[in-house]
Amino acid sequence: MAKKAAAKKIASKKKSATKTSRRTFPARKGVVAKSGAKKPGAKKATPRRPASPRRPKGPAWQWSAVETAAAIRSGAISAVETVEAHLDRMRTVNPKLNAVVVDLSEEALKAAHAADKQRARGGALGLLHGVPITIKENVDYEGRPNFNGVPANKGLIAPSDAPVVRNLKKSGAIVIGLTNTPEFSFRGFTDNPLHGLTINPWDPNITCGGSSGGAGSAVAAGIGTIAHGNDIGGSLRWPAHCNGVATIKPTQGRIPAFNASATAERPMLAHLMSAQGPLARHVADVRLALEAMSQRDPRDPWWVPAPLVGEKPKGPIKVALAKIPEDMEVDPSVTAALRQAADHLERSGYRVSEVEVPDINGVWQTWCDIITNETVVMQEAGMLKVTSEDFHKAWGGMKAKANVLDLKAWMQATAARSGHIRAWQLFFEDYPVVLAPTTVKPTPGPRDDTVSAERVQEIFWGEIRFISAINVLGLPGAVVPVALHDGKPIGVQLIAGRYREDLALDAAAAIEKRAGVLTHRLWERMA
């Protein structure tokens, strides 16, 4: 009897469970029941179509490099349509700016068609597959003269692409044009007898910076998602500040460099103080471009296979807001921008303290002495023979601030460089990131370095000291826009330890998240 009662109880539970199941999960219309019969009046089920890839908002030339790469990869847009959008933008705005000085439209469209065919075949796609970019006209671009702003260089035909160009092409990027640079890329203002003056898209009465001024002007105006540039005394960070875009001057050795068209090897310290790098409207694009640019090339003996991401410091990360030397007169707008950037970092979890950084004045003077003396011995005579009066004025002003070094003094200066690097590396043990100004004054006029030798010294020593000094240390430095003052962009600099571009870019991204992308305001003004 007990066994029969138990069996009835189990059967009752099963029946109850079946009823509950039917109530909770009713059959949908058109779904075949287990018996194979359809409910009366049921319609055939319509198979769901896969969702169409979504395009980012706005015209394609306004998209970030990250968005553009993802849209092409997903099929939301073709590489051809993307390149055409950027070429249309270039034709619209470049005549006023003179940022792109070599139009590669035909070549770019051929590359875009090939990129679309590659995607259709299901081949492996690079980080920047189909993404339009520009290259600065001072690195080798196969088959073209490496003018570097000098008409006399017409015979320097590049037999191959420079490593940074090769790496970008290998990543799938499509070059739509070459951008302007001053003579021998030696000025902080972009003008030359070959192509003329490049205009700042924010305001024609201020400089677009230099020497990567064409790159900065182009990417700010929407010509290409990423602009290649390089930096030996501020030539990435200064144009980024002037044009309201972001950049990273990487650690020396991060991105390989070499020009096969060069008639002689570059002096050692000039190579150790310079770096290739990207300018872009978004910090995330700078990070993406850095990864693409950093691949190995055996032609650069100084390239270092360092990881792009290092160990994260124990939080909260301490940031040193650099104290400004007393002899530098700081404009209130710069002070406000630095405080705003510090506040953005604090609100993002960083801990910011105003402290004195290691001997910024001595570091700058070491940079000036080394680069000037090396140039005088190795290059000056040849440069002065083929350059303009404007170049002579600007170079004379830069040279006037340097100490003349004999062989012993030269050796002492190079030895002092090692001491400065050590001091900064130890400083980063306590403060992994330094927040510093790009310039302490409003952006100067388009040709201010031709006014007088004294004006050149004011600019490089009195205004952008925190930019040029970092080159002698070989440290990574990012620039990110923070605010507009009188309608003109102001950026700040984030400096980190050797091969810690990730820390500088993380801090820059935290500022950008709260400050916004300033070029959106520029496009409203240009419309």
pLDDT in tens, 444-471: 999 999 999 999 999 999 999 999 999 9
388 in a structural domain? yes
Strands (E), 47-173: 100-103, 132-136
44 in a structural domain? no
Total domain count, the chain: 1
What pLDDT band is residue 48 in, cutting at 50, 70 and 90? low
404 in a structural domain? yes
Going by their DSSP bridges, the two strands 477-485 and 275-280 should be labelled as unpaired
Query: What pLDDT is stored for residue 253 in this prediction?
Result: 96
Query: What pLDDT is stored for residue 35 in this prediction?
Result: 36
Contacts (Cβ under 8 Å, ≥6 apart) of 284: 64, 65, 66, 509
Query: What pLDDT is stored for residue 46 in this prediction?
Result: 56
Considering only 2-11, 153-162, 516-525, which range has the smallest mean pLDDT?
2-11
Q: Cα 225 from chain centroid?
A: 10
367 and 233 Cβ atoms separated by less than 8 Å: yes
Query: What is the domain-level CATH number for residue 232?
Result: 3.90.1300.10
Enter the pTM of the model: 0.90
456 in a structural domain? yes
Mean pLDDT of 459-485: 97
As given in the structure block, the two tokens for residue 290 are 């850095």
- DSSP letter (8 states) at residue 46: P
pLDDT in tens, 98-113: 999 999 999 999 999 9
276 and 293 Cβ atoms separated by less than 8 Å: yes
**Percentage of the chain surpassing pLDDT 90?**
88
As given in the structure block, the two tokens for residue 190 are 């972009």
Query: What pLDDT is stored for residue 527 in this prediction?
Result: 82
134 and 179 Cβ atoms separated by less than 8 Å: yes
341 and 482 Cβ atoms separated by less than 8 Å: yes
What does the H/E/C string look like for 385-436? Answer: HHCCHHHHHHHHHHHHCCCCCCHHHHHHHHHHHHHHHHHHHHHHHHCCEEEE
Mean pLDDT of 420-447: 98
**Active site members:** 136, 211, 235
Expressed as residue numbers, the domain containing 245 is 60-526
What pLDDT band is residue 20 in, cutting at 50, 70 and 90? very low
54 in a structural domain? no
Rounded to whole angstroms, how far apart are CA atoms 178 and 173?
14
162 and 141 Cβ atoms separated by less than 8 Å: yes
124 and 74 Cβ atoms separated by less than 8 Å: no
19 in a structural domain? no
Beta sheet of 351-355, edge-to-edge order: 100-103, 174-179, 132-136, 226-231, 275-280, 246-249, 477-485, 488-496, 433-437, 318-322, 351-355
Query: What pLDDT is stored for residue 22 in this prediction?
Result: 32
210 in a structural domain? yes
340 in a structural domain? yes
Query: What pLDDT is stored for residue 123 in this prediction?
Result: 83
